[in-house]
Amino acid sequence: MSRGYIFLVLFTVGFLNAKAQQTIQFSQYVFNGLAVNPAYAGYKEAWTGSMSYRMQWAGIDGAPRTATASFDGLTGNPGKKVGLGIIATNDRLGPQNTSAVYANYAYRLQLDAEDTRRLSFGIAFGATQYSVDGSKFIATDQGDGSIPVGNDSKLSPDFRFGVYYYTPKFYLGVSVIDLLSGITDKTTTTDSYTILKQVRHLYLTGGVMIPLTESLDLKPTFMIKEDFKGPTSLDLNSYLLISKKLWIGASWRTGVALWDKKNLQSGLDKSDAVSGIVEVYLSDRFRIGYSFDYTTSKLANYQQGSHEVSLSITFPGQRDRILSPRYF
């Protein structure tokens, strides 16, 4: 067993003692809002496909590998009131694999005559499959009955809920995901093996667009992720938009103490990572992005950072008309 895999196992054990299993992590969440809030469906008012892939903690065997693909847009409902979307995710961590698919529905209220302000309510229904591959374990005791032979899995239904408010220069969203998964943080398969599952998460996101010059804009954003058991996660991001084509940004991810959680271990690292992010609009319809995370916790000595790529494409429609730029 390599040093990287040993460390991953020790890190996971520490995570279990803290009673927290954080959901998927993306540094470029700002460019794929459907991943964290179903009320985002239809925000861009054009059918848009997005994909992301994250290779976390490069150099550690079995470290997280996460992929997501989404497609969302507006229906022909008068007043652009209904947004629909679908999102699929896959998250691998060592021997465990989590796959999910959600259908999203958003009802969008127009708040002014110019249609510059909207309040959207969204729900998503889907299912998550948790599986564990026993062949990827290296057992200390051969024949250990707690390790499955081959692959074992469990399918669980789930839903999400969110609210999203936006103007051309401001947005604020709140969502709760893994609502049914949050009933327990463990699931038992047909062969009585226990698999860790995601717990209920609350997301609070927001951002603002600040014009600096005719060709330069500043976009600070934040995301708070809370699972009510582990450390609260805070992402602070800042982007510069150059000539409406190139985003250059940086992000800082850390833990914050919103209240005293008695179940947490003492001495946990709060600082997690800093990120550099570049997004390029190759055309009005095609965007590609890359980010690199430098880990600032004690894990930094065991890996070579995290890499993430994303892209999105917007498809023309019969009424290809957007009243204001979509910066979020």
What's the pLDDT tens digit per position in 182-237?
555 555 555 555 656 677 899 999 999 999 999 999 999 999 999 887 788 999 99
pLDDT confidence bin for 271, thresholds 50/70/90: confident
pLDDT confidence bin for 1, thresholds 50/70/90: very low
Q: What pTM value is reported for the model?
A: 0.84
pLDDT over 70 at 143, yes or no: no
Domain ranges of the chain: 19-138+148-315
pLDDT over 50 at 250, yes or no: yes
pLDDT confidence bin for 102, thresholds 50/70/90: very high
User: Buried b vs exposed e over 164-192: b needs ≥16 C-beta within 10 Å?
Assistant: bbbbebebebbbbbbeebbeebebebeee
Residue from 263, 270, 265, 264 nearest 298 by CA? 270
Residue 87: its pLDDT value, please?
A: 97
Q: What is the mean pLDDT of residues 173-187?
A: 76
Instruction: Look at 14 and 33; give whichever has higher pLDDT.
Output: 33
| 19-138+148-315: CATH architecture | Beta Barrel (2.40)
